[in-house]
Amino acid sequence: MKWHWYIGRDNELLLDLDSDAALWYAIQRLRRNMRRRFLDVKTIHWYRSIAAGHYHLFVTLKTPMPPVERALWELNLGSDIKRAQYNIMRTLRGLRAADLIIADRAYPGLRAPDYTCACGGKHKRRRITNHCPILKELHGAEAGAEYFAIQRDLQPRRRGLRLRPGQIPLSIILRS
């Protein structure tokens, strides 16, 4: 399979929307912010992602915006929170291509992808991210880096967590 990499430019917001409701929410938020002139939008493109009910929304702005501000706008418009967190971390660490969308096809009517790769699956698991030549080129030693504990790290709860108001001993948090 061929993967198509879109790297966020200074005048683009790249949103990863995880449901029909999220797409609707993003459109409504865009409309309100455009009407109030908080966002000066040139074009909007949306495409279905590889996962059913997931979407990619590309918003081209008339003027450039700093990377962290773009990430905050993407959050405000309902983009995936983990994606925005990672974009901000990569920006703060000075990595190239901090903001990116990896699609299973080139999106018609949109600009050409910045890169393509032929990795054997989605760029989520280390068996892919640790060996992707594009990710290594763009993020170097931090290719595939995880900055936060994620859902798959979650341990099932075995008992209730009882807390008294006030300071919580760290040992209780680590045992829970």
Assess contact for 174 and 167: CB atoms under 8 A: no
pLDDT of residue 26: 94
Residue 111 belongs to some domain of the structure: yes
Q: Which two tokens stand for residue 108?
A: 């018609």
Residue 160 belongs to some domain of the structure: no
Q: Confidence band (pLDDT; 50, 70, 90) for 131?
A: confident
pLDDT of residue 166: 76
CB count within 10 Å of CB 94 equals 8
Residue 176 belongs to some domain of the structure: no
**Whole-prediction pTM:** 0.81
Residue 156 belongs to some domain of the structure: no
Residue 9 belongs to some domain of the structure: yes
Domain count, the chain: 1
pLDDT at 162 over 80: no
Q: Confidence band (pLDDT; 50, 70, 90) for 33?
A: very high
Interior/surface letters 113-141, b for 16+ CB within 10 angstroms, e for the rest = bebebebeeebeeeebbeebebbeebbee
Residue 81 belongs to some domain of the structure: yes
Residue 123 belongs to some domain of the structure: yes
pLDDT at 133 over 60: yes
Closest CA to 139 of 104, 102, 93: 93
Report the DSSP beta bridge partners of residue 43. 60
pLDDT of residue 156: 58
Residue 14 belongs to some domain of the structure: yes
Range of the domain at 47: 3-149
C-alpha 121/C-alpha 128 separation (Å) is 7
